[in-house]
Amino acid sequence: MKMLWILAMKELRDGLRNRWIAAAIIVLGTLALVLSLLGSAPTGSIKASAMDISVISLASLSVYLIPLIALMLSFDALVGEFERGTMMLLLTYPVTRWQVIMGKFLGHVLILCIAIFAGYGGAMLIMTFVTDASMDGWQAYISMMMSSLLLGAIFIALGYLVSIFVKERATAAGTAIGLWLVFVVLYDLLLFGVLLIDEGQIIGQQLFSMLMLVSPTDTYRILNLSMFDGVSQAAGIAGIASEAGMSASLLIGVMLLWVVTPLAATLLIFQRREL
Amino acid sequence: MNPANKTSDKVISLAGVSKCYGSETVVSDVSFTIQSGECVVLVGHNGAGKTTLMKMMLGLTRPTAGNVEVLGSNPAMSTAVAQHKTLGYLPESVAFYEAMTGREVLTFYARLKGASLSNCDNLLDIVGLSHAAKRRVGTYSKGMRQRLGLAQAMLGSPQLLFLDEPTTGLDPSLRHQFYELIDALHKEGATSLISSHALNEVEARANRFIIMKAGIMIASGSLDELYQQAALPVRLKVSVTPGEAASVADRLGAEINISEINNQTLKMSCFNGDKMPLIRRITDLGDVVNDLQIMPPKLDEVYNHFMSGKQIDGGQS
């Protein structure tokens, strides 16, 4: 445990040193603030609170932004150390390979945690002065931040898998962008395209729910847009998740699986790797 | 090579170790043991398999065949990791986290090793980097990186040191300092394995040499043993009373291999076993001999002998 902490702190210090954390806080904070303040205007007749609107717009934005930030943090984590030669020296120290991976993971998740909670959380604090928020809205906002962290953890893990798989940093960067495109853009496009063509003949609700659960970004979306009444009414998708038999714990479980699987695969490849 | 303590304190033992990358064999059937407290030098050209051998002993790579045992366990097993606390390694071309300062790098490694953090500044001082401790490693020169590499290898007073070409990029005074450091660790009972292609530099320090060529261990032993194995001729230079050289040569007899002769000096060579009889014959010549110089083969010659796989010219049949 001590080793994990030493390795995690190194990553955290790196993040502070290269202003990475600061930049992420500014980006996330500014966007959250802008979206929340803009979003608090057109609440009009549907009686949606500003907080709920913020959750919807931030969740939609996070689907794009958080995976990108997470992949940027992680794609270089292993291949970079192999390429520079620092991994060889590190492994002659009393650390096991799983400690190296998990230490980095812990560090990167901490970086993301700071960025999300400082960025989104800061915006939330400012909003409390501007608008009135219901208890439900607060909960939805906080759960949005937590699930954003979980979404980030998924893409950090996926980034490691890319990082251990490829031989060069440039390839890792390219693959990471490809991964982002697939999960954030292409999969949904493809799914909706198929749905349009299919017109409900083969793909029923059950299959559709399953297909949504395959993609971690969709799981995140469902989790945020449909788990709180205020939010799901404002988003216009009230009750969709519960009708499809998706509970919050199922959705979180799926997301956790998306964290564990790539991490385990990375570790397995790393254990066999010869330096 | 000393049979007395062969089983007592075996720190490293390799048995029939081979390593192939694809169809290329980098190390082929190497076996040796290193006892506690020894300083062993791996000698060989680039690509002889020295670095690969070290990597296998550090558990970074696994042998294709054979067994490696370091401090009583297989280094490729994750259980061996705990022992890394007591070993230090300096890679051939050491790389650091460029964005960290020298001191940050050293304290990071000290934490991992569980070594005292207060010793870091001391180590930086020893390797002459205290003035650059607060500078980013990215700005360091090759020599400075090497010195930082040495400092990290010394963290936590290691019991076993693996040093891959340790003195490349170091100036002579630092080289000297470096070997003093190694000597100090040896006095405390440390064992070290140093790879080098500069034989003369390590000659005085090493207990034993292991000569590698194209992945094969072609010789191993102390300096004396290597001399014997190489069976290179000893050279003698005899100074005689001016004008007497030719007669001295006659008196010594035709079977002596005289390579050079002039008015008052004779240069001759013989094998180690024939050396004493020859010296006796020369001293028996009496007052005509003014001086006698005996020149054992140079280390370079021994090295070249093993490297080229053939005898060096000058020997008698």
Mean pLDDT of B45-60: 90
Question: Which residue of A89, A97, A100 to mutate against B (max B Cβ within 10 Å)?
Answer: A89
> Could you tell me which residues come within 8 angstroms of residue A27 by beta carbon, excluding any fewer than 6 positions away?
A65, A69, A119
Give the H/E segment covering residue B239.
strand B234-240
Q: Which of B55, B61, B112 sits opposite A93 (nearest CB)?
A: B112
Q: Which of A6, A7, A88 sits opposite B60 (nearest CB)?
A: A88
Which comes out higher in pLDDT, residue B230 or B151?
B151
Q: Write out the two tokens for A132.
A: 């009135």
pLDDT in tens, B179-206: 888 888 888 889 999 998 767 777 777 8
Q: Which of A82-96, B262-276, B300-314 has the highest mean pLDDT?
A: A82-96
Amino acid code (one letter) for A16: L
Q: Which of B55, B99, B109 sits opposite A18 (nearest CB)?
A: B99
Instruction: Reply yes or no on whether the pLDDT at A201 is more than 80.
Output: no
Going by their DSSP bridges, the two strands B257-261 and B265-270 should be labelled as antiparallel
pLDDT at A238: 58
The answer to whether residues B50 and B195 touch, using CB atoms and an 8 Å cutoff, is yes
Comparing A59-73, A198-212, A216-230, B220-234, which segment has the lowest mean pLDDT? Answer: A198-212
Residue B226 has a CB neighbour count (10 Å cut-off) of 22
Instruction: Reply yes or no on whether the pLDDT at A262 is more than 90.
Output: yes
A95–B93 CB contact, under 8 Å: no
pLDDT at A221: 87
Exposed e or buried b for every residue in B260-278, given b needs 16+ CB within 10 A? eeeebbbbbbbebebbeeb
Which comes out higher in pLDDT, residue B133 or B257?
B133
A89 in contact with chain B, both atoms CB, cutoff 8 A = yes
Give the H/E segment covering residue B295.
strand B289-295
Whole-angstrom distance, CA of residue A90 vs CA of residue B58: 11
Going by their DSSP bridges, the two strands B257-261 and B208-213 should be labelled as unpaired
A94–B61 CB contact, under 8 Å: no
A85 in contact with chain B, both atoms CB, cutoff 8 A = yes
pLDDT at A12: 93
Q: What is the ipTM of this complex?
A: 0.86
Q: Which of A6, A90, A275 sits opposite B61 (nearest CB)?
A: A275
pLDDT at B309: 67
A92–B58 CB contact, under 8 Å: yes
Q: Which of B87, B95, B109 sits opposite A84 (nearest CB)?
A: B95
A14–B99 CB contact, under 8 Å: yes
Which strand ranges, in their side-by-side order, compose the sheet holding B265-270?
A: B257-261, B265-270, B234-240, B289-295
pLDDT in tens, A126-146: 877 776 666 777 888 888 999
A1 in contact with chain B, both atoms CB, cutoff 8 A = no
Going by their DSSP bridges, the two strands B208-213 and B39-43 should be labelled as parallel
**B99 neighbourhood in chain A, CB within 8 Å:** 14, 17-18
Nearest CA in chain A to B20: A274
Q: Which of A128-132, A253-257, B292-296 has the highest mean pLDDT?
A: A253-257
Instruction: Reply yes or no on whether the pLDDT at A266 is more than 60.
Output: yes
pLDDT at A133: 64
Q: Write out the two tokens for B204.
A: 């005085």
Give the confidence band of B5 by pLDDT, cuts at 50, 70, 90: very low
Q: Where are the beta strands (DSSP E) in B45-188?
A: 65-70, 87-90, 160-164
pLDDT at B281: 87
A89–B94 CB contact, under 8 Å: yes
Whole-angstrom distance, CA of residue A195 vs CA of residue A209: 12
Q: Which of B60, B81, B95 sits opposite A95 (nearest CB)?
A: B81
Q: What's the mean pLDDT when you consider all of chain B? A: 85
B60–A97 CB contact, under 8 Å: no
Instruction: Reply yes or no on whether the pLDDT at B226 is more than 80.
Output: yes
A88 in contact with chain B, both atoms CB, cutoff 8 A = yes
A272 in contact with chain B, both atoms CB, cutoff 8 A = no
pLDDT in tens, A182-193: 999 899 888 888
Question: Which residue of B87, B107, B112 to mutate against A (max A Cβ within 10 Å)?
Answer: B112
pLDDT in tens, B259-278: 888 888 889 888 878 888 88
B61 in contact with chain A, both atoms CB, cutoff 8 A = yes
Give the confidence band of B313 by pLDDT, cuts at 50, 70, 90: very low
pLDDT at B3: 42
